[in-house]
Chain A
Amino acid sequence: MSRDVSHSEAAELLPEAALDALSPDDQAGVVAHATGCPECGPTLIALRDALAQLAFAAPPVTVDAVSRARVRTRLLARARADLSVADGSQPAAASDGPPASGSPWPPPRAIAGGAGQTRRSWAASPVLGWGLAIAAGIIGVIAVQHRATLDGEQFTAERTTLLARVQALRDSVEARDAFVRAVTGKQVSTMQLTSSAVRAPWAWMFWDHAANRWTLVARDLPAPAAGKTYQLWLVTPHAKISAGTFNPQPDGGAEVQATYPLAADSLRAIAVTEEPAGGVPQPTGALIIAATANRPGK
């Protein structure tokens, strides 16, 4: 329901309308006026555009990578189902891979779940693999049963949901497997980072020389101060290279991955410093944890 809003009234209410801060009737009235008004329309768009930028001003929150992957899988499954309905075909198998980076230097990616979950997953990956196979089998059985009893639309919807669940499980397993590969490969060298703090944090860095992959596993890290974050550095004789920022889990654990090509003999140290959120080009803050590099293979 909207009410008629005069031009002068609408012009006055545009900022509130851009914030969706009006009553539903007023909001609909102002938007309806602005849609056809050459003066209010562009102003409302400009205000909305400016206010949308506030999203970038909020202090950061940790976004769970598994959540993002789960939503991505569900979303794409829905889109494929939508397309198949449009063209009359069956939905394609949900086979999209992880987001493509295409970058030689993707920043670190937090591995969701924290230490306990990650460790549990190492052992559970083969089991999950079988679980996926069984789940696929169950889907098949359910599909046969339902195909006989449900109409086509309902069947398609349920099949899409189940496929999305299988894909989410597959993504999760692949992420865990990638992590295991990154820390157990033949060409992986390790460095232990230590600290002299009372509740001493510790960490291991796994450097996969073949894949240029860096995996930091840290425990007992204190929470960074408000407005701060941790930044990981690869120290060479000529530069301190940022490997990205991260925040530990509430239990102090963190797993961070990054890809960066570095000559085997050029690494001198690994360090984690506390820096302003968003990171800095060069380290400025307190040293939290550090290690001197070993030679590869030692």
Chain B
Amino acid sequence: MSAGDDAALAQLYDRWSRPVFSLVLRLVRDGDDAEDVVEEAFWQVWRQASRYDGSRGEVGTWLLTIARTRALDRLRSRRRLREEPLTPVSLDDSGAGGATSAADDPSVRAEASERRTIVAQALQTLPREQREVLELAYFAGLSQAEIADRTGQPLGTVKTRTRLAAQKLRDCLATYRNEGEGRS
């Protein structure tokens, strides 16, 4: 795609549009906004493909990060225009779902299922209050101060929980990946 191959863009879209759409929809909760955000996220990837460095993370992570950032921009812009109640998702349902749907091709579905299982396992290792701050930060795009306000916890406590949760999630996922690679 970095060579300007639009077929590669189509391939990337077919491979990743479902999880991206799913994440963005969950954040912006509006179909029209989601379409705009998804298009702009893939467009950004297309325009910046030459800057992508595979050694700095997989393309899906890059794409999901861009899409989430774009979605949060849209969400924050909307919040500035009108006070909008926040209804973040609960990660307590993590074992049951996944940012994908049955209409992906089998290999995509299998991969998504595997990721879902691994992330669910990792999340289960976190205390509930740490999962809560992750949920509010990742899916609702709340700042630390907003989370403190929402949960009634001191800002320092929120920061500590966020830090611990993110680090523990990273470590757990790394462990699970290493175990998976060791088995295969």
For residue A172, CB closer than 8 A to chain B, the reply is no
Interface residues of A in 70-107 (CB under 8 A from B): 70-72, 74-76, 78-80, 82-83, 86, 96, 99-103, 105-107
**Quick one: which of B35, B103, B123, B144 contacts A21, CB cutoff 8 A?**
B144
Determine if A267 is an interface residue (Cβ-Cβ < 8 Å). no
Within 8 A of A (CB), among B41-90: 42-43, 46-47, 56-58, 60-61, 64-65, 68-69, 72, 89-90
Q: Tell whether A16 is near chain B: CB-to-CB under 8 Å.
A: yes
Q: Which residues 222-247 of A have a CB within 8 angstroms of B?
A: 226-229, 244-246
List of B residues within 8 angstroms of A101 by Cβ: 105
Interchain CB contact (< 8 A) of A99 among B14, B139, B165: B14
CA gap between A279 and B42 in the complex, in Å: 29
Nearest chain A CB to B148 CB, angstrom units: 11
With A47-B170, A71-B35, A80-B6 as known contacts, state yes or no: A57 contacts B106, CB within 8 Å: no
Chain B residues positioned under 8 Å from A96 (CB to CB): 10
Of the residues B56, B98, B103, B105, contact of A58 by C-beta under 8 Å: B98
Interface centre among A21, A103, A229 (most CB of B within 10 A): A21
Q: What is the number of residues of chain A that contact chain B, defined by CB distance less than 8 Å? A: 67
Give Cα A294 to B21, complex, Å. Answer: 39
CB distance from B69 to the nearest CB of A (A): 6
**Docked CA distance A58–B96 (Å):** 9
Report the bound CA distance from A19 to B166 in whole Å. 9
Q: Are B170 and A67 in contact (CB under 8 A)?
A: no
- CB 8 Å contact bits of B111-131 with A (1 = contact, 0 = none): 011011011101100000000
Closest A residue by C-beta to B118: A53
A252 within 8 A of B: no
Bound CA span A21–B155, Å: 13
Binary CB contact string for chain A from 166 to 178 against chain B (1 if under 8 A, 0 otherwise): 0000000000000
* Interchain nearest-CB distance for B179 vs A (Å): 15
Q: Is the CB of B102 within 8 A of A108?
A: yes
The residue from B56, B72, B115, B147 contacting A20, defined by CB atoms under 8 A apart: B72
Choose from A71, A102, A244 the contact partner of B102 (Cβ within 8 Å): A244
- Knowing A63-B25, A75-B42, A277-B96, the reply to whether A57 touches B13 (Cβ < 8 A) is no
A185 to B120: give the CA distance in the assembly, Å: 44
Given known contacts A45-B57, A79-B46, A107-B104, A20 and B69 CB-to-CB distance under 8 angstroms: yes
Per-residue contact bits, chain B 23-44, to A (CB 8 Å; 1 contact, 0 not): 1011000010011001100110
Q: How far is the CA of A18 from the CA of B170 in the complex (A)?
A: 11
Q: Is A113 an interface residue (CB 8 A)?
A: no
A106 contacts which chain B residues (CB < 8 A)? 105-106
Q: How far is the CA of A276 from the CA of B97 in the complex (A)?
A: 8
Per-residue B-contact encoding for A40-58, CB less than 8 Å = 1, 0 else = 0000011111111111111
* Measured CA separation A3–B30 after assembly (Å): 35
Closest to A86 in B: B4
Chain A, Cβ-Cβ closest to B23: A55
Does A28 count as interface, using CB distance less than 8 angstroms?
no
Q: List 15 A-B contacts (CB under 8 A).
A: A15-B166, A16-B163, A20-B68, A21-B144, A22-B143, A48-B57, A48-B65, A54-B138, A70-B35, A75-B46, A100-B14, A106-B105, A107-B103, A229-B102, A277-B96
Residues of A whose CB lies within 8 Å of any CB of B are: 12, 15-16, 18-23, 45-65, 67-68, 70-72, 74-76, 78-80, 82-83, 86, 96, 99-103, 105-110, 226-229, 244-246, 276-279
Known: A59-B97, A67-B35, A75-B46. 20 other contacts (CB 8 A): A16-B144, A22-B144, A47-B170, A52-B64, A53-B61, A54-B138, A56-B115, A58-B26, A59-B96, A60-B22, A63-B21, A64-B31, A71-B35, A76-B13, A96-B10, A99-B13, A106-B105, A107-B103, A110-B101, A278-B96
